[in-house]
Chains A and B, each alone.
Chain A
Amino acid sequence: MLSQQDVKNIIDQVIGYSKLPECEVYVNWTEDDFIRFANNGITTSGYRITQQISISSTTADKRSGNAVVGELSAEALKNGVKQAEELAAISRPNPEDMPALPAQKYPHLSNFDDYTAAARGDVMVPQVKAILAGALQNKLVAAGYIQRSANAVGVGNKAGLFGYHTYTDSSLTHTMRNAGGTSSGWATQSSVSLKDLDGEEQVKVSIDKCLRGTNRKKLDPGKYTVIMEPAAVADLIGRLGFAFGARRAEQGQSFLSKPGEGQNGGGTYLGEKLFPEIITLRSDPFQPKLASTPWGPSLLPNERVAWIDKGVVKNLYYDRFWAEKAGKKPTPYPANLVLDGQDNSLADLIASVDRGLLVTRLWYIRVLQPKTWQLTGLTRDGVFLIEKGKVTDAVNNFRWNESPVEVLQRTVKLTQPQRVTNDESGSNMAPALITTDFNLASISDAV
């Protein structure tokens, strides 16, 4: 792993080669180890080291160029600086360029685990074997993926800014299908520590979902009360993180824009209560279960920020340029999202629904309309009917057309959040929740 001194040396070296007034350097180094399995056996796996040094140079009249190199030799770094400076010289002035940030006080985040950083295949294989054993015992078929990474990241610039951080991350996820391909279950765990992953526990969840799903009934599309498990909620709210940009909101292109005449429309909904009291959505770089970094893309220190606080739109994301124009303090980038919850269990949620559906996770989410944040996607790996407070039959999958904004507006009850890492929107903290009138638009025959 690149040490703080290694990163400092790389950054100093790059800055030493730089001739333009501004030079900003990002260093990313990752060592990861992964195992992929399918059809009840390991298929591909690997161990690798990757590294990237991104160099941005800016002239006095705000012309910028960026070069990324993957080699650490003096020659490669020198070439990278030369390339960035040549691009800057040729580019045009950027009216939105902001002066380099001086030294910052970055927060200390505790998300590095020595055990995880040193773990190799021999530590991960037993987790895989636990899942395969569960599959074989139940005559099912498992496919999945376990990985861990150790990461060193660094930033620096000519104005004296320097930052260094290390973090680890790990995840185990798998899908359990029956031999006939008529049922599918799924489970996931992720943590900065590989020790938190437990194949034996995880496989119970997927087996239960898969076995329950073997005789699924056909259910018509329509609007249903839906309990979304944490993975499904994370799929939706992860997308919502992109929707709090002040620029889009102030320029009439966001669900947070009010209709009105002129270039700025009718202003924004900042400060207004758009959601029920139980909805609080925030970013928290100090959440120890999430692999955050101390800074965001603007290099400002990451902070806790509430986007929705007890139903009220509390903050918009102002980058440094837009904040200056608006006369506001710039906002740290939404590094992760935490949807706060309530002291209910998933069983409590199920017990409180007279007729509805329990949804495991979502898939292939795409934006239908960026202005309204209408999305489309599908359910996957387990949809179950709830009748009179009990899970009864497994039912078919659906395509849905919905907005996470409206889903949160119609939310009536939540559990406490847990970390979820998913394919659709990275790592976030999400609870399970009950929402009403969820628009399941058509049937998906997929299993």
Chain B
Amino acid sequence: MSRKFTRRSFIGSSVSAASLLAGERLFGERAPDGTQPSADLEKLGDVAMAEAKKQGATYADLRIGRYRNQFSGYRLSPERGSNITDEVPFVTDQNSFGFGVRVIVNGQWGFAASPLVTADEIARITREAVTVAKANAAAQATPVQLAPVKVYRDRWTSKFDKDPFAIAMDEKLELIRSAAVSAKKDPKVFSSFGALGFQAEDKYFASSEGSSIQQYVVRVYPLLSVTAVDFKNGISRTRSYTVEPQTAGWEAIAKANLLENAPRIRSEVLEHLAAPPVKPGKKDLVLLPSHLWLTIHESIGHSTELDRALGYEANYAGTSFLTTKKMGNFRMGSELMNVFGDRTNDRGLATVKYDDDGVLTTKFPIIERGVFKHYQTIRDQAHLIGETESRGCCYGDSWSSVPFQRMPNVWLAPGPETVTPEDLISGVDDGVLIDGNGSFSIDQQRYNFQFGGDAFWEIKGGKKGGMVSRVAYQARTPDFWHACDGISGPSYWQQFGAPNDGKGEPAQSNAVSHGCSPSRFRQINVLLTD
């Protein structure tokens, strides 16, 4: 069924405000793929589209969103001046519900949002969005141009077996408490912390071009960490069990084996506390996926965002050393390097069927055999680099946020199956093996970066040795990726990520995953940090 602008009629009066105030009636359920969005939501979409047309908008979209974030956890730490351990639980369930309207008037974007989801308010806020667009037209550089998009009427739910919100809180607390207690079992461990985070994003999108899309995404974030303190020498170290955050359900928590990993991080934090400092200098690095994902995120994910390259983020997140002239020809790294942008991959935090422009999401090459091929794009930017369609990277982190270009899952393809992590280590004479994340920092054009880690092991004469401490490495993005001379096979490929990638003004968060296999980098500058 076509739902073009021209066929819409103003039906606000038929949608009763009272029936729509409680957002949970409209949202929060999984639905079989391919079914239609809620009829009530579609009626509200019609209200916005009709009002936008009446006000002279040439394009409009409405997003109604319900967001739920549930956290539960435990902190175990000593009481003041004693060896008694306080076990401090926390539980919170946060809901947010509202809508935002985007319009194009006189070639200029306008946006307005409100938490009161009624037909009258949607019409009012649509007029506000038009007012915003008209005011801004006075300082317009170039009129907005949107890449064409197909019209969709669809409902989609992310893959999960067991709804994490349906699991009793008691079960969650017991799991996380047991893991935290086990992690702190050794009296030399100062404190432990465990948490489970669950996020549901349920949103409806309607556009003046006729699309009507409802999507429900569930993500899980497990965490377990311990801290050890050497009071005499004034040293403190933390060790985390890095669990893959992912678009999935409770089944991912069960697979994470928090309890089984607690004794390991307990002994590793104590080893780290006593570990000798690294000897700084040029060293080979073998980076595990639990660590390398963040280096990929910062150095490749952000440098290949088109809005940065074009200067749209110049005042905040920054620009990119990958200027548009480099697209298709710049050698970013070694021949081994193949990187994809992908919002379709299994369990990726940025995985969704349609983006916030209503574009069907895709998988596309960003780097092929070391050469930079494609940017991440959205509808209003594609034409600026001569492309005819968006790559589906539009996202707003809330109903009250303006959707803009955000990172898809960006992943490094594995090497040949025959290459094992042991093979990579055996080829290192003097190096460091790094697991997990520590400090991370990169400049505003994504050249100079410095990364710490969560745990470090010395590699000597091709063998993994004991832990070392106070490690960070510093490099320039293209130099670092040129130094990559080994990537392990598909069996070792893992996907990690974060829920809070910041960008934009006002600042927004994006959840994104980065998969990779253990990889080796030659002669990187290793620093002694403190």
Task: Say whether A associates with B.
Answer: yes
Q: Using a CB–CB distance below 8 Å, which chain A residues touch chain B?
A: 32-52, 63-71, 73, 75-76, 79-80, 83-84, 86-88, 90-92, 94-96, 120-122, 125, 128-129, 132, 141, 143-145, 147, 173-175, 177, 181, 184, 186, 247, 250-253, 257, 259-266, 322, 325-326, 363-372, 374, 376-378, 380, 397, 399, 401, 423, 441-447
Residues of B contacting A67 in the complex (Cβ-Cβ under 8 angstroms): 92-95
Structural contact, A443 and B448, CB atoms closer than 8 A: yes
Known: A122-B135, A260-B232. A51 touches B530 (CB 8 A): no
Does B142 sit at the interface, judged by CB under 8 A? yes
Residues of A contacting B89 in the complex (Cβ-Cβ under 8 angstroms): 63, 91-92, 94
Does B140 sit at the interface, judged by CB under 8 A? yes
User: What is the number of residues of chain B that contact chain A, defined by CB distance less than 8 Å?
Assistant: 97
- Beyond the given pairs A45-B402, A399-B443, 19 more chain A to chain B contacts, judged by CB atoms under 8 angstroms and listed by A's residue number, are A40-B141, A42-B140, A42-B141, A50-B98, A50-B400, A70-B95, A71-B115, A251-B80, A257-B234, A260-B231, A261-B232, A263-B231, A364-B444, A367-B439, A441-B474, A442-B448, A442-B525, A445-B447, A445-B448
Closest to A177 in B: B314
Structural contact, B169 and A45, CB atoms closer than 8 A: no
Q: Using a CB–CB distance below 8 Å, which chain B residues touch chain A?
A: 21-24, 77-83, 86-98, 100, 108-116, 128-129, 131-132, 135-136, 138-142, 168-170, 173, 177, 190, 227, 229, 231-236, 310-316, 318-319, 321, 323, 400, 402, 404, 438-448, 450, 452, 470, 472, 474, 476, 505-507, 525, 527, 529-530
Partner of B91, one of A69, A90, A369, A370: A90
Partner of B234, one of A173, A259, A401: A259
In angstroms, Cα B233 to Cα A378, docked, is 30
Closest to A132 in B: B139
- The 11 sampled A-B contact pairs (Cβ below 8 Å) are A45-B110, A45-B402, A46-B129, A66-B91, A95-B86, A177-B311, A369-B529, A371-B530, A374-B530, A376-B450, A443-B448
Structural contact, B169 and A90, CB atoms closer than 8 A: yes
Partner of A399, one of B233, B311, B450: B450
Structural contact, B314 and A250, CB atoms closer than 8 A: no
Nearest-Cβ distance from residue A138 to partner chain B, whole angstroms? 16
In angstroms, Cα B168 to Cα A376, docked, is 42
Partner of B452, one of A76, A79, A88, A368: A368
Closest to B438 in A: A368
Residues of A contacting B173 in the complex (Cβ-Cβ under 8 angstroms): 90-92
Nearest-Cβ distance from residue A91 to partner chain B, whole angstroms? 5
Q: Specify which of B78, B447, B448 lies most central, judged by the most chain A CB atoms within 10 Å of its CB.
A: B448
Closest to B24 in A: A79
Structural contact, A70 and B141, CB atoms closer than 8 A: no
Structural contact, B231 and A378, CB atoms closer than 8 A: no
Known: A46-B402, A144-B315, A251-B229. A52 touches B108 (CB 8 A): no
Closest to B238 in A: A370
Structural contact, A39 and B442, CB atoms closer than 8 A: no
In angstroms, Cα B159 to Cα A345, docked, is 61
Structural contact, B97 and A71, CB atoms closer than 8 A: yes
Closest to B233 in A: A259
In angstroms, Cα B448 to Cα A399, docked, is 8
Known: A95-B88, A145-B505. A35 touches B443 (CB 8 A): no
In angstroms, Cα B219 to Cα A214, docked, is 46
Known: A45-B110, A45-B132. A141 touches B95 (CB 8 A): no
Residues of B contacting A369 in the complex (Cβ-Cβ under 8 angstroms): 470, 529-530
Residues of B contacting A68 in the complex (Cβ-Cβ under 8 angstroms): 92-96
Structural contact, A44 and B402, CB atoms closer than 8 A: yes
Residues of B contacting A36 in the complex (Cβ-Cβ under 8 angstroms): 505
Residues of A contacting B227 in the complex (Cβ-Cβ under 8 angstroms): 253
Residues of B contacting A372 in the complex (Cβ-Cβ under 8 angstroms): 530
Structural contact, A173 and B443, CB atoms closer than 8 A: no
Nearest-Cβ distance from residue B128 to partner chain A, whole angstroms? 5
Structural contact, B315 and A38, CB atoms closer than 8 A: yes
In angstroms, Cα B401 to Cα A32, docked, is 12
Partner of B442, one of A33, A49, A64, A364: A364
Partner of B170, one of A65, A90, A442: A90
Residues of B contacting A325 in the complex (Cβ-Cβ under 8 angstroms): 79-81
Residues of A contacting B23 in the complex (Cβ-Cβ under 8 angstroms): 71
Residues of A contacting B318 in the complex (Cβ-Cβ under 8 angstroms): 363, 446
Partner of A444, one of B96, B443, B470: B443
Residues of A contacting B235 in the complex (Cβ-Cβ under 8 angstroms): 371
Structural contact, B448 and A120, CB atoms closer than 8 A: no
Structural contact, B447 and A364, CB atoms closer than 8 A: no
Residues of B contacting A326 in the complex (Cβ-Cβ under 8 angstroms): 80
Known: A39-B141, A125-B138. A370 touches B505 (CB 8 A): no
Nearest-Cβ distance from residue B121 to partner chain A, whole angstroms? 10
Structural contact, B109 and A66, CB atoms closer than 8 A: no
Structural contact, B22 and A71, CB atoms closer than 8 A: yes
Known: A94-B88, A262-B231, A444-B448. A39 touches B312 (CB 8 A): yes
In angstroms, Cα B229 to Cα A266, docked, is 13
Closest to B446 in A: A446
Structural contact, B530 and A263, CB atoms closer than 8 A: no
In angstroms, Cα B360 to Cα A222, docked, is 50
Structural contact, A141 and B109, CB atoms closer than 8 A: no
Nearest-Cβ distance from residue B384 to partner chain A, whole angstroms? 10
Partner of A252, one of B90, B236, B310: B236
Nearest-Cβ distance from residue A72 to partner chain B, whole angstroms? 8
Structural contact, B236 and A401, CB atoms closer than 8 A: no
In angstroms, Cα B173 to Cα A397, docked, is 47
Known: A141-B311, A369-B530, A445-B476. A42 touches B136 (CB 8 A): yes
Closest to B91 in A: A87
Partner of A366, one of B86, B129, B138, B440: B440
Known: A48-B400, A90-B169, A265-B234. A65 touches B109 (CB 8 A): no
Nearest-Cβ distance from residue A367 to partner chain B, whole angstroms? 6
Nearest-Cβ distance from residue B299 to partner chain A, whole angstroms? 12
Closest to A92 in B: B89
Structural contact, B21 and A73, CB atoms closer than 8 A: yes
Closest to B77 in A: A251
Structural contact, B444 and A129, CB atoms closer than 8 A: no
In angstroms, Cα B168 to Cα A86, docked, is 11
Structural contact, A368 and B444, CB atoms closer than 8 A: no
